[in-house]
Amino acid sequence: MTKKVLIARSAGFCFGVKRAIAIADETAGKRGTGDGREGPIQSLGPIIHNPQAVGRLQEKGVRVVETVDDISCGKVIVRSHGVTRSDRAALEGKEGVTIVDATCPFVTKAQEHARTLSRNGYAVVVVGDPNHPEVKSIISYIDKGVPVFTSIAEVKAAKGVRKAGIVAQTTQSFENLMAFVAAAMKRFPEVRVFNTICNATALRQQESTGLAGIADVMFVLGGYNSANTRRLAEICKAINPRTHHIETEGELAPSMVEGASVAGVTAGASTPQWIIDGFLERLKGIWKCDRIEVSFYR
């Protein structure tokens, strides 16, 4: 019997991650073409939340450092989440350090809106996880002394604020943004909203939801440390209990596909194509069939 694999059309790298990896690859590729004094290539935090992709970059000479203090020379790649204003200033102040900026343009836009709002007298509501590096970077662009709110409870408790502007972490859901908008409109006489959500996350979730509903078994590929991949796995599991979140094809066991003839595959925004390809190859081997029909699902 022909086995079928349906792959979510958006599975894998989003625009910003693809761009960041290309920038890192290009930077690593230029190594040794200078005067020999260019120093190490570092990324401030892992470029993406995928251990295998970070491992490959490490082999090419891009090492991960955790803080600005760990950098004294060479090139530093700023990942797609962006960096706080103070970290950027500290890096710019280091002699012999060159910044290679891979901040996703959508994140830059959210930073700019936050700064402009604060400079125009608006308190700023940032919809997102305050501990996430992207949200920390957005907040850092708000001028000192301007009230900042990151929860609906804080918005409801705000006092003496006449106008507020809202920006969102790029991966937030539209529903959550709207809940903040509703709370802000009840609290402040003037509210400005910038919809800074990027549709990469919503698109992956929509496609994966549809796929999980029709597949016999569902696979979500990507780093265990990737929040968007874990969320995809949760969403798929709620629809299809036979959902497996795995990082690489090595974790694909024959028992996972036993009795199944349609496998659905999706992958987080930080999962490289070669991980998806490796998974398909292994699945072909397990199913031992000459022909696996592979189609894209939207």
Stretch near ligand SF4 under the rule CB under 6 A, chosen from 51-59, 101-109, 125-133, 242-250: 101-109
Closest distance to ligand SF4 from the beta carbon of 80 (Å): 4
Stretch near ligand SF4 under the rule CB under 6 A, chosen from 37-45, 67-75, 195-203, 238-246: 195-203
For residue 205, what are the CA distances in angstroms to 9, 127, 135, 209, 257?
11, 19, 21, 6, 23
3-state DSSP assignment of residue 113 = helix
**Residue 126 is a binding residue for ligand SF4 (CB under 6 A):** no
Taking alpha carbons only, the member of 198, 195, 192, 196 closest to residue 117 is: 192
Which residues is 43 bridged to in the sheet?
64, 77
Among 6, 8, 11, 14, binds ligand SF4 (CB under 6 A): 14
Per-residue mark of binding to ligand SF4, 264-283 (x: CB under 6 A): -----x--------------
Catalytic residue at 134?
yes
Task: Select which of 134, 207, 247, 249 is catalytic.
Answer: 134
Distance CA 86, CA 153 (A): 28
**Residue 172 is a binding residue for ligand SF4 (CB under 6 A):** no
**Residue 170 is a binding residue for ligand SF4 (CB under 6 A):** yes
What backbone torsions phi and psi does residue 157 show, to the nearest 5 degrees?
A: -90, -5
H or E, element range at 179: helix 174-187
**Residue 15 is a binding residue for ligand SF4 (CB under 6 A):** yes
For residue 93, what are the CA distances in angstroms to 44, 90, 98, 206?
16, 5, 10, 44
**Residue 21 is a binding residue for ligand SF4 (CB under 6 A):** no
Contact residues: ligand SF4, CB under 6 A? 14-17, 80, 104, 106-107, 170-171, 198, 200-201, 269
| Residues tagged active-site | 134
